[in-house]
Structure 1
Amino acid sequence: MNFERQIAYNFWANKRILEAIGASSKTMKDEELLTHFGHILHAQIIWYNRVLEVDEKVDAWPNLTFQECQNKLFGKASIDLNNMAQKASQLCSYTNSKGLSFESKVSDIIQHVIIHGQHHRAQIALLLRQKEVSPPATDFIVFTRQKDLQ
């Protein structure tokens, strides 16, 4: 599997949905949207910390501002996934949020992080639609079409 392409897609989709949140914040309260988006980013960081055995307390459901989300998107959260791809063939032993111990392939963790992000981007898209804001397309195939044109 080409993790670099999957990770590039994940960043592209996150960037598009955050741009939609930013544009919509001029007309609506965006706290719920930012909570979901912050969760996407912090889940990536949590998994990265597990893979690298970093003992850092990270809130899975943070209350972040738009600027904080933007800073994390273009900073730690994206760098983390790229670094994880280099360890894709390795195993990771970790303890989950309930204190249970597991061992997973890093490649499976990367796939989980990407699917998890898509799930929450879909929730954000639904919230935007409920407020009569048209969300951007974040489908993988849309990403491939745009990348193939470049």
Structure 2
Amino acid sequence: MKTIKRMLEHQIWANRELLSAIQRCDGQAQEALNLFRHYVIAEQAWIMRLNGESSTHLRLWTDDADLASLEEAVASNEQRYGDYMERLTEESLDDMITYVNQSGVAFQTSIRDILTHVALHGQYHRGQINRVLRESSVQPEAVDFILFSRLS
């Protein structure tokens, strides 16, 4: 439980750091913004599923992400994951969640595996975003877990 909580704390910190880097782009890295939107909306989908809500209305990929809506989504996700983690117990980590994905396919997955996926999915896309930032002559943001652990 402690490890998963720590991974999600890192996710929240890294989202803030990367959002700050994207804000500095002044709209010059739409690909970075689109990637950031994808994983922020994916985070939203997963927390909705964990809370028993449908996420089928969410579009995971678009080419027209905008900064203002992402700022709101990041803040909302941070609040929703924080609230969820406060209620979560060690005993419930292996509970199975039944949900329907964006294609309408039903799945059952443990809470532990969902939360691990959320953290790893974000890390994957943050690496992609940093590549795009570098290619756009914007300083990439250091968001590795070890840096987070040194700072906290």
Please indicate the TM-score interval, normalised by the length of the shorter structure. Answer: 0.7 to 0.9
Distance in 1 between residues matched to 2:143 and 2:115, nearest whole Å: 18
Q: Compute the TM-score of the two structures, normalised by the length of structure 1.
A: 0.86
> 1:106-145 maps to which residues of 2 (within 5 A)?
106-145=111-150
2:96 — aligned with what?
Answer: 91
The structure, 1 or 2, with the larger RCO (C-alpha pairs under 8 Å, 6+ apart) is: 2
2:41 — aligned with what?
Answer: 42
Instruction: Tell me the number of residue pairs that the alignment of Structure 1 and Structure 2 aligns.
Output: 144
Shift of 1:38: 1.0
Query: Aligned residues: percent identity?
Result: 28
Please say if residues 84 and 106 of structure 1, whose CA atoms lie closer than 8 Å, have aligned partners that are also in contact. no
Shift of 1:94: 1.4
Shift of 1:91: 1.3
Deviations 1:44-94 (A, max 9, x none): 1111121222134111124332121112112x2112323443253421011
For 1:64, what is the secondary structure of its paired residue?
coil
Unaligned runs of 5+ in 2: none
2:80 — aligned with what?
Answer: 80
2:12 — aligned with what?
Answer: 11
Runs of 4+ more than 3 Å apart: none
